[in-house]
Structure 1
Amino acid sequence: MRKNLLKKETADLIIARVNNLSAIHQPQWGTMTAAEMLLHCNSCNRQILEEERGNKKTQPKQYLLRILALYIAPGFKKNIQGETEHNTKGKANDLDFEKYKSEFVELISQFPFNTKPLTLSHPAFGNISTNEWGIAAYKHMDHHLRQFGV
């Protein structure tokens, strides 16, 4: 069964993993610090939960990428570049690590109790369902927690 952040047991697993993360953890790939990674994840999760982007037309390439990334590939590719609006390099203060971590836990805790459709268009996958957002959000959080070995 596919892990989905909309399921409480999956959200709880992600929270347990992030609770093992400290500000001194070093990335196994990439250049973000642990604080920058948390700030990045918080920015993405807040956008998923709060924003609507309308219904942009999904391109055929996006359908194929969605099937591959969400249903076939075991995880997201290392060192892949995201949207520039979520680039947090140099924008996170290590002294605020615990604040970012607390916000991370709060946002992840909201996913299983979300009752509204998640309608944000994904930049790579196009228009995806609420269930697919749960899968994508889990894979994204798993990717970054693996990046820091937790």
Structure 2
Amino acid sequence: MTAITTPEPQGVTPTPEITISEFGAQKALGILEQSGKDNAGVRVFIKSGGCSGYQYGMAIDDRELDGDLIVHHRGVKLLVDPMSLPLLRGSEVDFVENMMGGGFTVHNPNATSNCGCGHSFRTDGAQSPDGEGSGGCGSA
């Protein structure tokens, strides 16, 4: 297996390619603990679909696949596949709560427009990848 690992920061280190907010980490650690999966992490990925072209996806995953970027940030293991990484580079996973409930979201500096629901996005000049996902806002 060839995984790229970014260790937990010690002292002054470069910013990881993907991060998680403090509140997001608290929520993720609770979910990971309840999952019952040893060595599990949060897989963050992109799939085609949604009303803006790409859709975010997240899942609890205890597998480290060939080519995965593995980042340990704030005690949470984040896994990103090599196809999703260019669109997620520099992003922060967060957890937001509002009157409609709560859930994970991605603050993505690569997104040039977002769907009104916040689950899909577009980048300038980029076409949606072929593969999973289709449909409108809110489909996951």
- Which category of TM-score, normalised to the shorter sequence, fits these structures? under 0.3
Higher strand share: 2
Length-normalised TM-score, structure 1: 0.23
Length-normalised TM-score, structure 2: 0.24
